[in-house]
Amino acid sequence: MSKSKLEYIWLDGYKPTQNMRSKTKVEDNFSGKLEDCPIWSFDGSSTRQATGDSSDCLLKPVAIYPDPARKNGYLVMTEVLNPDGTPHVSNGRATIDDDDNDFWFGFEQEYFIMDRKTQLPLGFPVGGYPAPQGLYYCSVGGRNTHGRDLVEEHADMCIAAGLNFEGINQEVASGQWEFQLFAKGAKKAGDEIWVARYLLDRLTEKYGYYIEYHPKPLGKDMDWNGSGMHANFSNSTLRTCGSQEVYEKICEAFRPVVKEHIEVYGEFNDQRLTGEHETQSIDEFSYGISDRGASIRIPIITVEKGWKGWLEDRRPASNADPYKVAGRIVRTVKTAKV
């Protein structure tokens, strides 16, 4: 008889920024298939998802990946249900209207690696600051590059887990990095970002680090780029229309719902979306070709391919829930009259 460790991962009920939770279920002779992952339960009163007198919440498995750090281990992404089987109010995945996987998403997840002892980003001296941003972006060498061992190990783990991991690079601030993931299907894209975050956070436990997803961890007045989670997205219309007019109509569909997007684009995002450091102001909306200071960037490759491609929403913060971001983008694009 073989035994497998299934790590059930879910999002808690903290507001406005949810946290990952996980616990291990040991199964005998497990097949490795999603359909053989049983629904499980947890104490929702300990995660702000239930009261003590009615504390059980359900975990419904929605995606499974091999766990690269465990023998006979699996990572099981789940969504939270009420005891009657309906989606819990904290369940952002259930709000995504993309059952046919027409929407494709590529998320660019930025983050800071923090030293647990100093509570500062890697490369920051205690009581001072490193050299100004400029030489850190895509840098090579020990003077400007910090945390590569962790980042490389994380990339290997994501690939070994079967995630559609597309790349890594150091970002513009010391100790700031980014990874990219792509998926066909909005729900799958969210699943993969959360599992990649889980692997990254778990990995820091052995390094003496932690990951800071706050979009402006150094303070809103500091002259450093914040961290985002840029959302590159397309549907069949954007991939095939060949029309600048259609692209502009879809972009314009975002203008009247700026507030609704910002509400799910991450806590403290006002500190990042200032109109500086390659951002548009949180109170403004704009779009433009190859414009990294716009709310939505139209990639130059899309234009060069005859207006067939994708769009990039640059507003989501690094701590945003990819399920809620994708769900809101899908809803808005579907309102465009094209």
Question: Are 229 and 325 spatial neighbours (Cβ–Cβ below 8 Å)?
Answer: yes
3-state helix, strand, coil in the chain (%, to 5): 25, 30, 45
- 229 pLDDT band, cuts 50/70/90, is very high
The total of structural domains in the chain comes to 3
d(CA 145, CA 148): 7
What pLDDT is stored for residue 331 in this prediction? 98
State which of 182, 212, 242 marks the end of a domain. Answer: 212
pLDDT tens sequence across 157-167: 999 999 999 99
Residue appearing with tokens 């680090």: 209
Domain assignment present for residue 146? The answer is yes
Residue 209's Cβ-side half-sphere holds a number of Cα atoms within 13 Å equal to: 23
- 223 pLDDT above the threshold of 80: no
d(CA 305, CA 307): 6
CATH code for the domain in which residue 238 is found: 3.30.590.10
Domain containing 47 equals 3-87
Is 141 found in the same domain as 77? no
Amino acid at 327: G
What pLDDT is stored for residue 337 in this prediction? 87
Is 240 found in the same domain as 335? yes
Is 289 found in the same domain as 204? no
Is 328 found in the same domain as 260? yes
What pLDDT is stored for residue 36 in this prediction? 98
Domain assignment present for residue 100? The answer is no
pLDDT tens sequence across 75-127: 999 999 999 999 999 999 999 999 999 999 999 999 999 999 999 999 999 88
- 7 pLDDT band, cuts 50/70/90, is very high
Domain assignment present for residue 225? The answer is no
pLDDT tens sequence across 185-219: 999 999 999 999 999 999 999 999 999 999 999 87
Domain assignment present for residue 58? The answer is yes
What pLDDT is stored for residue 133 in this prediction? 82
- 128 pLDDT band, cuts 50/70/90, is confident
Containing H/E element for 273?
A: none
Domain assignment present for residue 78? The answer is yes
Look over the chain and give the mean of its residue pLDDT values, rounded to a whole number: 96
- 169 pLDDT above the threshold of 90: yes
Scanning 170-230, the segments in alpha helix (DSSP H) are 186-204
Is 328 found in the same domain as 291? yes
pLDDT tens sequence across 147-159: 999 999 999 999 9
**Distance in Å from the first CA to the final CA of the chain:** 57
CA distances from 66 to 54, 71, 75, 182, 244 (A): 33, 9, 6, 18, 42
Q: Which two tokens stand for residue 17?
A: 């920024």
At how many degrees (to 10) do helices 186-204 and 322-335 cross? 160
Pick the closest to residue 169 from 145, 133, 134 (CA basis): 145
Is 252 found in the same domain as 186? no
Is 119 found in the same domain as 202? yes
What pLDDT is stored for residue 271 in this prediction? 94
- 275 pLDDT band, cuts 50/70/90, is confident
**pLDDT exceeding 90 applies to what percent of the chain?**
90
d(CA 104, CA 271): 29
CA distances from 208 to 22, 109, 242, 284 (A): 20, 21, 50, 40
d(CA 241, CA 309): 9
d(CA 202, CA 161): 14
Question: Are 7 and 75 spatial neighbours (Cβ–Cβ below 8 Å)?
Answer: yes
d(CA 272, CA 316): 10
Is 235 found in the same domain as 332? yes
What pLDDT is stored for residue 131 in this prediction? 81
Is 120 found in the same domain as 146? yes
- 64 pLDDT band, cuts 50/70/90, is very high
What pLDDT is stored for residue 268 in this prediction? 96
Report the DSSP pairing between strands 3-11 and 73-81.
parallel
Domain assignment present for residue 95? The answer is no
Domain assignment present for residue 137? The answer is yes
Vertex 316, ends 122 and 133: CA angle to 5°?
35
The mean pLDDT value for 309-324 works out to 98
What pLDDT is stored for residue 257 in this prediction? 97
Is 290 found in the same domain as 235? yes
The mean pLDDT value for 292-302 works out to 96
State which of 212, 242, 262 marks the end of a domain. Answer: 212
Pick the closest to residue 132 from 270, 269, 229, 225 (CA basis): 225
pLDDT tens sequence across 40-61: 999 999 999 999 888 999 999 9
Domain assignment present for residue 113? The answer is yes
CA distances from 275 to 216, 232, 295, 338 (A): 14, 20, 10, 30
Residue appearing with tokens 């397309």: 234
What pLDDT is stored for residue 72 in this prediction? 96
- 31 pLDDT above the threshold of 80: yes
What pLDDT is stored for residue 77 in this prediction? 98
Q: Which two tokens stand for residue 35?
A: 């359909």
Burial class (CB in 10 A: 0-12, 13-18, 19+), 64: buried
State which of 161, 180, 212 marks the end of a domain. Answer: 212
- 132 pLDDT band, cuts 50/70/90, is confident
d(CA 214, CA 336): 32
